Amino acid sequence: MICEHEVGLHPLPPRTAGCEECLKTGSRWVHLRLCLTCGHVGCCDSSPGKHATKHFHSTTHPVMASYERGERWAWCYIDEAELDVPPEAEPLLRD
Ligand SMILES: [Zn+2]
Ligand SMILES: [Zn+2]
Ligand SMILES: [Zn+2]
């Protein structure tokens, strides 16, 4: 599925190699998510910090993609639906 929030996205390269907030505080994360609006890397909801979801609530950037090796899926927080990775974001994700 493709949602309206994916239309017109211009994904930016990841700003950090790990969760931006966890790296600052020395916390650990479980999985990483990449914001397809601004390149913010945050941790998933199984991580103590839940920084990817917090990033959505503070910025309203709607679509993130998995930033885990070999994973290819995206998620729209507004539609609460799994999405295909937009082709422009594909080269930014990890092999
Ligand atoms: Zn959407
Ligand atoms: Zn985090
Ligand atoms: Zn963002």
- The reported pLDDT for the residue numbered 33 is 98
**48-65, pLDDT tens digit by residue?**
999 999 999 999 999 999
Distance 73 CA to ligand 2 centre (A): 19
**14-41, pLDDT tens digit by residue?**
999 999 999 999 999 999 999 999 999 9
Distance 42 CA to ligand 2 centre (A): 5
Task: Indicate if the pLDDT at residue 1 is higher than 90.
Answer: no
Bigger pLDDT: 57 vs 8: 57
- Give the model's confidence band at 2: pLDDT under 50 very low, under 70 low, under 90 confident, else very high: confident
Closest ligand (CA of 61): 3
- Whole-angstrom Cα distance, residue 11 to residue 89? 6
Taken as a whole, the chain contains a residue count of: 95
Q: Is 79 helix (H, G, I), strand (E, B) or coil?
A: coil
Closest ligand (CA of 39): 3
Distance 26 CA to ligand 1 centre (A): 32
- Whole-angstrom Cα distance, residue 28 to residue 86? 28
Assign residue 80 a region (left: φ > 0; alpha: ψ between -120 and 50; beta: otherwise). Answer: left
Look up the pTM and report it.
Answer: 0.96
Closest ligand (CA of 77): 1
CB atoms within 10 A of CB 90: 12
